[in-house]
């Protein structure tokens, strides 16, 4: 089947079936879909959710029909990303597509909402199931950008940052084509046309939904099938730690590397904080915790991140959009220590708006972190920029926008065409 097939959402007297399908390599890919799914009207929509596992912390209180699916092990995927390798070869995607198609047969969804499940660009059009993909706007071909940031690819260690930056514009088209190749090869086997390069693959679907605001991630010449939802909030339901309530006069620093941050930088962060007049809370997300912590740092597994960010003078994160946007939604600036391209892209837009700073993961020693954090604490312009984005974000309600979108595209008689990209 080709990529331009007319498609009509299936309807019957039953509630509309919405299938959410998350590739849970990182926590963010699951929680933002869960956040959207929770708010759908249960009297109108029958919600199904598919991912590799269903952590009680995330799915507690939900009544979705759960469907386990295969996902590349998180540790293996993150290791490949760190090495600059492809996570998804054609053989892996072929298994994914077969799993997707079995799932479609079992659920018979009216629409599928995917987050970084690249196989959906093959399985959904093959099964004639309407597809909406959730992807950050900084990955869009329509994003207004000056340049791509340089991730911590192994080649940076060999040739240095400046030399790698010099050749990045020439190398990226080949790299993006390389990462998109398995998808396009498998589409060809299913009788479909090539989508294009990586940006086109990541945003491919009947509809493309951006968990962003245009004030931070502007686009141009956006197709009608693309739309902004606004930032998607999520925090675990947990108690606010005592140290947050009793921070006193010292500035509070919230530290979290999430589920995908490079733990190698954690010791440098802790050393930097140990020599500063601050109190800090480290959220480990259930990952490694050093056996010895500085006296001014408290570690817990999970915290209600939005409440901690609200009370913090700064948030130190892996640079990803999830915690970065959570901080900005509270008017709190971000110090990002990214490693992969997604994290660098998120921090590049935050730093570009003056609401945060980047410390390169490969250069994140205690002195560099301490220097940047000291500047952010002393210079009000960072908090003012974060507050400006906080006000801008308040005009968007992701749940209302998403519910309106689902209602609009699942109306009887609504037809759509799979977009042709590239």
pLDDT tens, residue by residue, 363-384: 899 999 999 999 999 999 999 9
Task: Identify the burial level of 105 via C-beta atoms within 10 angstroms of its C-beta, where 0-12 means exposed, 13-18 middle and 19 or more buried.
Answer: exposed
Structure tokens at 261: 């941050």
Residues 6+ apart with CB under 8 A from 82: 152, 262, 339, 340
**Which residues make beta-bridge pairs with 317?**
256, 336
pLDDT tens, residue by residue, 185-213: 999 999 999 999 999 999 999 999 999 99
Domain ranges of the chain: 6-230+396-413, 242-393
- At residue 305's C-alpha, the angle toward residues 303 and 309, to 5°, is 125
Q: How far is CA 18 from CA 39, 86, 110, 199, 226, in A?
A: 12, 30, 6, 25, 19
Question: What is the pLDDT at residue 262?
Answer: 72
Q: Is 120 left (phi over 0), alpha (psi -120 to 50) or beta?
A: alpha
CATH class of the domain at 6-230+396-413:
alpha beta
Question: What is the pLDDT at residue 5?
Answer: 37
SS (H, E, C) 169-203: HHHHHHHHHHHHHHHHHHHHHCCCCCCCCHHHHHC
Rounded CA gap, 184 and 194, in Å? 5
C-alpha distance across the termini of the chain, in Å: 18
181 or 419: which leads in pLDDT: 181
Q: How far is CA 346 from CA 17, 321, 340, 418, in A?
A: 32, 5, 10, 28
Rounded CA gap, 231 and 213, in Å? 7
The dihedral of CA 106, 109, 115, 120: what is its sign?
positive
Q: What is the mean pLDDT of residues 97-124?
A: 97
Structure tokens at 329: 């939604």
The answer to whether residue 417 scores a pLDDT higher than 60 is no
Question: What is the pLDDT at residue 422?
Answer: 29
The DSSP symbol for 137 reads G
Q: Which of 326, 373, 325 is nearest to 346 (CA)?
A: 325
Rounded CA gap, 200 and 140, in Å? 8
Task: Provide the pLDDT confidence category of residue 27 given band limits of 50, 70 and 90.
Answer: confident
Rounded CA gap, 418 and 190, in Å? 15
pLDDT tens, residue by residue, 203-244: 999 999 999 999 999 999 999 999 999 999 998 877 788 777
Q: What is the mean pLDDT of residues 148-157?
A: 86
242-393 shares the fold of 6-230+396-413: yes
155 or 65: which leads in pLDDT: 65
The answer to whether residue 17 scores a pLDDT higher than 50 is yes
Asked whether the beta carbons of 259 and 74 are under 8 A apart, the reply is yes
The DSSP symbol for 93 reads H
Question: What is the pLDDT at residue 26?
Answer: 84
Neighbours of 383 (CB within 10 A): 18
Structure tokens at 253: 């620093």
Lowest mean pLDDT among 142-151, 160-169, 306-315: 160-169
Q: What is the mean pLDDT of residues 389-416?
A: 90
Rounded CA gap, 251 and 315, in Å? 11
Would you say domain 242-393 falls under CATH 3.40.190.10? no
Task: Provide the pLDDT confidence category of residue 13 given band limits of 50, 70 and 90.
Answer: low
Asked whether the beta carbons of 326 and 306 are under 8 A apart, the reply is yes
The DSSP symbol for 362 reads G
Asked whether the beta carbons of 328 and 349 are under 8 A apart, the reply is no
304 SS3 class: coil
The answer to whether residue 75 scores a pLDDT higher than 60 is yes
Asked whether the beta carbons of 113 and 20 are under 8 A apart, the reply is yes
Number of H helices, E strands in the chain: 16, 15
Rounded CA gap, 293 and 232, in Å? 32
Question: What is the pLDDT at residue 260?
Answer: 61
Q: What is the DSSP string of 319-339?
A: S-HHHHHHHHTTT--EEE---
């Amino acid at each position: 089947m080709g990529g331009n097939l007319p498609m009509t959402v299936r309807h019957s007297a039953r509630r509309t079936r919405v299938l959410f399908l998350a590739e849970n390599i990182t926590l963010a890919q699951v929680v933002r879909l869960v956040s959207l799914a929770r708010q759908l009207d249960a009297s109108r929509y029958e919600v199904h959710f598919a991912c590799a596992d269903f952590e009680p912390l995330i799915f507690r209180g939900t009544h979705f029909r759960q469907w386990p699916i295969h996902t590349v092990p998180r540790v293996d995927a993150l290791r490949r990303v760190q090495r600059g390798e492809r996570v998804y070869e054609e053989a892996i995607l072929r298994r994914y597509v077969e799993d997707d198609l079995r799932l479609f047969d079992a659920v018979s969804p009216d629409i599928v909402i995917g987050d970084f499940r690249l196989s959906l660009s093959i399985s959904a059009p093959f099964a004639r199931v309407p597809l909406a993909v959730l992807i950050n706007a900084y990955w869009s071909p329509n994003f207004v950008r000056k340049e791509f940031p340089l991730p911590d690819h192994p080649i940076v260690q060999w040739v240095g940052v400046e030399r790698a930056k010099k050749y990045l514009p020439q190398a990226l088209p080949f790299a993006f084509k390389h990462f998109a190749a398995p998808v396009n090869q498998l589409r060809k086997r299913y009788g479909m046309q090539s989508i294009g390069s990586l940006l086109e693959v990541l945003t491919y679907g009947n509809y493309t939904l951006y968990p962003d605001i245009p004030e931070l991630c502007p686009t141009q010449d956006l197709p009608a099938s693309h739309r902004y939802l606004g930032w998607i909030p999520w925090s675990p339901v947990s108690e606010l730690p005592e140290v947050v309530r009793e921070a006193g006069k010292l500035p509070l620093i919230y530290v979290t590397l999430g589920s995908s941050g490079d733990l190698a930088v954690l010791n440098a962060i802790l050393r930097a904080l140990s020599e500063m007049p601050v109190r800090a809370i480290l959220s480990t997300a259930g990952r490694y915790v050093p056996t010895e912590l500085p006296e001014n740092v408290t570690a817990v597994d999970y915290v209600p991140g939005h409440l901690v960010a609200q009370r913090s003078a700064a948030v130190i994160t892996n640079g990803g959009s999830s915690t970065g946007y959570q901080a900005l939604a509270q008017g709190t600036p971000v110090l990002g220590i990214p490693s992969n391209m997604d994290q660098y892209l998120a921090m590049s837009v935050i730093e570009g708006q003056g609401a945060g700073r980047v410390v390169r993961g490969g250069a994140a020693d205690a002195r560099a972190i301490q220097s940047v954090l000291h500047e952010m604490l002393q210079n009000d312009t960072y908090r003012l920029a974060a507050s400006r984005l906080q006000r801008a974000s308040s005009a968007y309600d992701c749940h209302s926008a998403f519910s309106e979108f689902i209602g609009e595209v699942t109306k009887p008689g609504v037809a759509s065409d799979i977009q042709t990209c590239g």
